[in-house]
Structure formats: structure tokens, C-alpha cells
Amino acid sequence: MPKIPGLLKGLGVTLNTLKRTALDGANTVQYPHEKEAPPLRARGVIALHEDNCTSCMLCVRSCPDWCIYIEGHKELAPPRRAGGKPRQVNKLDRFDIDYALCMYCGICVEVCPFDALFWSPEYEYSEPNLADLLHDKVKLGEWMATVPEAPAYEVGAEKKGKK
């Protein structure tokens, strides 16, 4: 069979794509009408589980963009056992993440020792006003409802981590 010239082949490629799009539909998604499911572990927005936070400031210091602001104070909580000493706990006054600065590196989520920060796949929180991208602890807490269950470990992964 004689070789088909590349010029004709090129025309064939575009024509085949045209035919495929007309018959089977496009590869794109018509966004506001239909939504693509974000992939596993998608980095949409960071959610805060406030009860776990001890305001240890590790996330603030590790943030490359300095976009996390924490203020807290110490409080005395009732003892766990009767007759014990009152416990000292850290209370959050302020936990803000400025998504106008955030670069979604996820270091804060990785570094948190108390499992207070999580990735949520939600991504539709753009604002007409730049200042509204500063999410306070109430709003960050609301994102917790959208955090998916952690995916199951791969076979053998748990053992390997424990040594």
C-alpha cells in the first residue's frame, strides 16, 4: 500500500475528531450545568476541625505564604477525674486562612500533629470581593462537612509505617 502523504493524514485527524465529537460528544464538561467529580485527594479548600486544634502554631510557621492567622488563649478546664487538678487547655480565638494568598501546597495539613486540618474537594468559593476570601474559623469549620472519608490503606501499607 502506498504511503499516505502527511498533509492528507493531518486533514484526516481533524476530520475524525470532528466526527467523533459530533457522534460521541466532546471531551469537555459544560461546567455550570454539569460538574466533573474531583479526583481522590483533590485539594479544594482546607477545613478546620476546631476541637482538635491546640493552637500550637506549627501550621502558621510552616506556611510558605504566611496566610494562616492564629490567636488563642489558655483556659482552665475541669479535671478528667474527680479530685484532680484542673487541666490547662488552649482555646482558639481566631483561626483564619487567607485564600487570596494560599497556594494550596498543603504543608499545613501535613504538619498538623493533632489532625485538625483536612483537605476538602470543594472548589466553588470564589468571591467578588478579595477580602471575603479570608475564611474565619466558623467558615473553615463548615467545610468539615464536605471532607470525604480517608481512603482505605493499600494492602500492607499500615504494617510498613509502624516498623
Partner 1 sequence: MSALLAADLPYWVQSLLRVLGGVVAVLLPAGAIVYLFLFKMMSFMQSRLGPMEAGPYGSMQLFAEVGKWLQKEDITPERADRVIFKIAPLVVLASTFLLVAVVPFGPDAWFTNFEAGVFYMLAVSSVSVLGILIAGWSSANKYSLLGGLRAAGQLIAYELPMVLAVIGVIIQAGTMNLQGIVLAQNTGEIFGWNGLGNPYILTQFTGFIIFMIAVQAELTQTPFDMPIAESELVSGYMTEYSGFRFLTFFIAEFATAGVFSFIASVLFLGGWGVPFAWFGWTDIDSVDNWMNVVGPLIMFGKMMLLSFVIMWVRFSYPRFREDQLQRFAWKVLVPISLVNIMVTAILKVAL
Q: How much of the chain is helix, strand and coil, in % rounded to 5? A: 30, 20, 50
The distance of closest approach from Cβ of residue 25 to partner 1 in the complex, given in angstroms and rounded to an integer, is 8
Cα separation, 148 vs 52, in Å, equals 18
How many C-beta neighbours within 10 Å does residue 98 have? 17
Nearest distance from C-beta of residue 128 to partner 1, angstroms: 20
Q: How far is the CB of 129 from partner 1 (least distance, A)?
A: 25
Total chain residues near partner 1 (CB under 8 A): 15
Question: Least distance in Å: CB of 4 to partner 1?
Answer: 14
Each as own residue / partner, the long-range contacts of residues 53-56 (CB below 8 Å, 24 or more positions apart, any chain) are 53/90, 53/92, 53/95, 53/114, 53/116, 54/89, 54/90, 54/114, 54/116, 55/90, 55/91, 55/92, 55/95, 56/90, 56/113, 56/114
- Could you say which residues in the range 1-60 bind partner 1, by CB under 8 A? 7, 10-11, 13-15, 17-18, 20-22, 26-28, 30
Nearer to partner 1, 27 or 88 (CB): 27
Residues 87/80, Cβ–Cβ less than 8 Å:
yes
Amino acid sitting at position 149: E
Window 95 to 154, contacts with partner 1 (CB under 8 A)? none
Query: Which CB atom, from 10 or from 148, has the smaller least distance to partner 1?
Result: 10
Instruction: Choose between 9 and 94: whose C-beta lies nearer to partner 1.
Output: 9
Provide, rounded to whole angstroms, the least separation between the CB of residue 20 and partner 1.
7
Question: Which residues lie near partner 1 (CB under 8 A)?
Answer: 7, 10-11, 13-15, 17-18, 20-22, 26-28, 30
